[in-house]
């Protein structure tokens, strides 16, 4: 009897925490809308875009970057190697859009084990303006991209970011990635912000350049293997906050395979495990797997119908999740619930995998995951 009560209580508590996270995220998120330019001063902005390789939507994301509704901004594209095929597309976009100041910088500054950060260094140093956005090349920037980032800046802000929301999936596995990005990862990140736990996200990062330069510059982001983890710790250490935009920006996905999703999700999980272990440990409790398992244990012990119990738990988990996506204009399809089921079946395996091994691969680059403290101990030894 006591085991039945305990399992029922734990299952209910997890379902309630899931609902609470959705409610908290919904309170911070707004449906996609166009923000007009502010009536006050609109300072010039530098957008540093590290790029590598050609992706299915590269031409579209490039053109969006040249179509922003902001009076003064420059684009600084960064590519590590001159032979990268994306160079040709960037050069062509610069020629097609002569009214927008834009440059392509080539070279690799080895300041860290993070290839993306190394690629950004030259762009940061070349940026002409006090406001700098570090923007991944696969962000589908809306016309009011800069307005959204600037609108989230407050007096106590040290950094403004946006999580990516998956869009334009081609095939079932891309829909699974949407389920990871949108109503799981973005949801929990916005719920954390609502609780005062703002975490940086490297897709779009708005910095005040003099502030970061006064605290170590872009090199300070090499303190952790992931630049967004280092950014979070740096900003919090200054007594400032990481804020998120009210409407996150899209990342068009195209086709995905199971292997690509597994590789990407286990890489991110390992990074979170190393950089924020206390927050990563309870991730095993997110998703529907654990409350479903505990609910079925309760039903088996109490002699209740297992199919009925499973249906109730899954409905309590996924209907509010679907409502969140629908209300915010995020991608939904008839296969979305199936994609959520597959995602949640993968989560325990991803969580377990994150505790073993420290090496990951990012676009062909082998990266050993370690904290700054681990590196310092090895140097002392």
In a domain, 332, yes or no: yes
| Same-domain pairing of 39 and 19 | no
The per-residue pLDDT for range 211-264, each reduced to its tens digit, is 999 999 999 999 998 999 999 999 999 999 999 999 999 999 999 999 999 999
| Same-domain pairing of 112 and 256 | yes
| Same-domain pairing of 88 and 169 | yes
| pLDDT higher than threshold 60 for residue 359 | no
In a domain, 162, yes or no: yes
| pLDDT higher than threshold 60 for residue 375 | no
| Same-domain pairing of 166 and 240 | yes
In a domain, 222, yes or no: yes
Confidence band, pLDDT 50/70/90 cuts, at residue 374: very low
- Residue range 111-134: mean pLDDT, rounded: 95
CATH number reported for the structural domain that contains residue 54 in this entry: 3.90.550.10
| Same-domain pairing of 243 and 280 | no
| pLDDT higher than threshold 80 for residue 379 | no
> Residues of the chain with pLDDT > 90: what percent?
86
Which CA distances in Å does 14 have to 5, 19, 24, 317? Answer: 14, 9, 15, 10
- pLDDT value for 191: 96
| Same-domain pairing of 56 and 154 | yes
| Same-domain pairing of 70 and 196 | yes
Give the predicted TM-score (pTM) of the model: 0.91
| Same-domain pairing of 85 and 13 | no
In a domain, 14, yes or no: yes
Q: Give the end of a domain, one of 236, 261, 286.
A: 261
The per-residue pLDDT for range 303-349, each reduced to its tens digit, is 999 999 999 999 999 999 999 999 999 999 999 999 999 999 999 99
Residue found by looking up tokens 């006050």 in the block: 40
**Into how many domains does the chain fold?**
2
| pLDDT higher than threshold 70 for residue 280 | yes
- Residue range 24-39: mean pLDDT, rounded: 84
More confident residue, 257 or 376: 257
Query: Taking a C-beta distance cutoff of 8 angstroms, is the pair 221, 142 a contact?
Result: no
In a domain, 381, yes or no: no
| Same-domain pairing of 231 and 321 | no
| Same-domain pairing of 92 and 231 | yes
In a domain, 380, yes or no: no
Q: Give the end of a domain, one of 233, 261, 289.
A: 261
Q: Give the end of a domain, one of 228, 261, 294.
A: 261
Confidence band, pLDDT 50/70/90 cuts, at residue 377: very low
| Same-domain pairing of 129 and 238 | yes
Confidence band, pLDDT 50/70/90 cuts, at residue 365: low
| Same-domain pairing of 46 and 89 | yes
- Residue range 111-122: mean pLDDT, rounded: 93
Structural domain range at position 57: 32-261
Confidence band, pLDDT 50/70/90 cuts, at residue 31: confident
| pLDDT higher than threshold 50 for residue 362 | yes
């Amino acid at each position: 009897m006591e085991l039945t009560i305990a399992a029922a209580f734990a299952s209910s508590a997890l379902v309630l925490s899931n609902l609470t996270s959705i409610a908290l995220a919904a309170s911070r998120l707004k449906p996609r809308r166009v923000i007009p330019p502010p009536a006050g001063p609109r300072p010039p902005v530098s957008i540093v875009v590290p790029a590598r390789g050609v992706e299915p939507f590269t031409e579209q994301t490039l053109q969006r970057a040249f179509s922003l509704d902001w009076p003064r901004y420059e684009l600084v594209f960064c590519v590590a190697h001159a032979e990268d095929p994306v160079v040709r597309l960037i050069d062509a976009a610069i020629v097609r859009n002569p009214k927008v100041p834009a440059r392509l910088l080539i070279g690799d500054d080895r300041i860290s084990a993070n290839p993306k950060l190394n690629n950004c260094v030259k762009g940061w140093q070349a940026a002409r303006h006090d406001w700098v956005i570090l923007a991944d090349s696969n962000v589908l920037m809306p016309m009011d991209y800069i307005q959204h980032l600037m609108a989230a800046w407050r007096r106590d802000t040290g950094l403004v970011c946006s999580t990516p929301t998956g869009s334009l999936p081609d095939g079932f596995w891309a829909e699974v990635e949407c389920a990871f990005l949108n109503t799981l990862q973005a949801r929990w990140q916005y719920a954390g912000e609502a609780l005062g736990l703002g975490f940086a996200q490297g897709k779009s990062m708005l910095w005040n350049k003099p502030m970061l330069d006064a605290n170590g510059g872009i090199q300070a982001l090499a303190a952790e293997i992931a630049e967004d983890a280092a950014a979070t710790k740096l900003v919090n250490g200054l007594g400032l906050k990481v804020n998120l935009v009210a409407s996150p920006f899209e990342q068009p996905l195209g086709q995905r395979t199971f292997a690509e999703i597994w590789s990407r999700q286990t890489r991110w999980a390992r990074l979170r495990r190393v950089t924020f272990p206390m927050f990563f440990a309870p991730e095993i409790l997110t998703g529907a797997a654990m409350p479903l398992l505990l609910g079925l244990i309760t039903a088996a012990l109490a002699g209740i119908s297992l199919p009925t119990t499973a249906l109730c738990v899954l409905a309590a988990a996924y209907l509010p999740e679907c409502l969140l996506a629908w209300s915010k204009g995020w991608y939904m399809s008839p296969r979305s619930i199936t994609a959520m089921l597959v995602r949640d079946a993968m989560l325990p395996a991803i969580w377990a995998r994150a505790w073993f091994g420290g090496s990951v691969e990012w676009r062909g680059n082998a990266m050993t995951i370690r904290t700054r403290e681990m590196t310092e101990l090895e140097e002392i030894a």
